[in-house]
Amino acid sequence: MKKNNRFTFRLFISILCALFFYGSQNPVLAADGFPNRPIKFLIPFNPGGQSDIAVLLLKPTLEKTLGVNVVPQYRPGGGGALGWTMLKTQKPDGYMMAVTNLPHIVVQPIMTKGVSYKTEDLAPVYLYAQSPGGIAVHKDDDRFKTLQDLIDFSKKNPKKLTIGGTGKFTGNHLGYLQFSQLADIDATYVSFNGAAPQIAAILGKHVAAIYGGTFIFANNRANLRILAVATEERLEDFPDVPTFKELGMDLVGGIDRGVTVPAGTPHETIKKLGDALRLAASQKAFVDGMKKQGFHLINLGPKEFGEFIQKRKEQYIKVLRTGGFLK
């Protein structure tokens, strides 16, 4: 063998050995090379909010598991719509994933003009938490000791019962609509631009009740009387509060929080991200941090998350049609 050929052969063997060693030491990269650069974690809301807190809690374990930096990127606006529209336009390679909320990604494309993404544009990766809905009144309002008291008042006084929520066609609004349909009452929904003014309204007794997430109740339990929560079973944080189901209403829901990537992302890439997120969401720091914020933890991978979205979509559309918002 000529000298140059021997050198080339030895170089080739050296490169193969190096690649083998590198791949064996980095199992994440060994299969298909993903990921080999930083991953952007899109947060379609302002910094400092609950979505941001979740990402910061997930970040350390994600970086350790995936072997690359995970970089939060903020794109607030339109109740999340700007961020999810941005996600839709990204290359489906797994290098951008986004915090994704329900009912937002189902209802926005149906009910909000100018929204240019569809639910199907976002591929489900992992669902990690939900903020179940519920109804609460001021603790000093002796008119409403139970949910039935609230219902009876509304039936005797059509449109006079005011129930505050955040936004229109949001988790709060849809929960209120479903409750009023199941209870067969004609109440008045008062929309607020965020949880802070919603809480201020009930504490100031400007509304009779609020339909909100349990995280709001957790942070204001000393001043509220919670009448019911929209969960399958009673919550550990509120053991004395009945579920709507206990009270004869098939109402389960709230704001569900997970992660999606652009549609068309390879299955193996989605699985790798989903596995990493599942591990990160099992860590004590994440569990304790989320529970402190009043969240109920969930653990659904890509397939189960997709089925969950479809089930919720059917629920939302039924509520909107019954309310006369959809034909």
Distances (CA, A) of 110 to 83, 127, 130, 169, 325: 17, 22, 22, 10, 10
In a domain, 293, yes or no: yes
Spatial separation of the C-alpha atoms in residues 102 and 51, rounded to whole Å: 13
In a domain, 243, yes or no: no
In a domain, 238, yes or no: no
User: Do 118 and 159 fall into the same domain?
Assistant: no
In a domain, 246, yes or no: no
Would you state the pLDDT for residue 262?
Answer: 98
Locus of tokens 């004869």? 248
In a domain, 68, yes or no: yes
- 136, 175 contact by CB (below 8 A): no
Q: What is the CATH number of the domain that holds 92?
A: 3.40.190.150
User: Do 224 and 141 fall into the same domain?
Assistant: yes
In a domain, 12, yes or no: no
* 16 pLDDT above the threshold of 70: no
Q: What is the CATH number of the domain that holds 207?
A: 3.40.190.10
Q: Which two tokens stand for residue 149?
A: 């008291």
User: Do 221 and 267 fall into the same domain?
Assistant: no
CB contact set of 157 (below 8 Å; sequence gap of 6+) = none
**Among 210, 229, 248, where does a domain finish?**
229
Spatial separation of the C-alpha atoms in residues 233 and 247, rounded to whole Å: 12
Would you state the pLDDT for residue 21?
Answer: 39
User: Do 117 and 179 fall into the same domain?
Assistant: no
User: Do 82 and 219 fall into the same domain?
Assistant: no
Tell me the average pLDDT of the chain: 90
What does the chain come to in residues? 327
Asked if the bond preceding 72 is cis, omega within 30° of 0, the reply is no
Number of domains in the chain: 2
User: Do 171 and 195 fall into the same domain?
Assistant: yes
User: Do 174 and 219 fall into the same domain?
Assistant: yes
Radius of gyration of the chain (CA): 24
User: Do 87 and 160 fall into the same domain?
Assistant: no
More confident residue, 138 or 46: 138
Spatial separation of the C-alpha atoms in residues 195 and 239, rounded to whole Å: 23
pLDDT tens digit string along 83-140? 999 999 999 999 999 999 999 999 999 999 899 999 999 999 999 999 999 999 999 9
In a domain, 26, yes or no: no
Would you state the pLDDT for residue 215?
Answer: 84
Spatial separation of the C-alpha atoms in residues 282 and 18, rounded to whole Å: 34
User: Do 149 and 184 fall into the same domain?
Assistant: yes
Q: Which two tokens stand for residue 240?
A: 């004395």
Q: What is the pTM of this model?
A: 0.84
**Among 229, 264, 296, where does a domain finish?**
229
Spatial separation of the C-alpha atoms in residues 72 and 59, rounded to whole Å: 9
In a domain, 145, yes or no: yes
Distance of CA 144 to the CA centre of its chain: 31
Range of the domain at 224: 131-229
**Among 175, 194, 229, where does a domain finish?**
229
Would you state the pLDDT for residue 32?
Answer: 63
User: Do 117 and 151 fall into the same domain?
Assistant: no
* 160 pLDDT above the threshold of 60: yes
Distances (CA, A) of 120 to 35, 123, 255, 270: 24, 7, 19, 15
User: Do 149 and 212 fall into the same domain?
Assistant: yes
User: Do 94 and 141 fall into the same domain?
Assistant: no
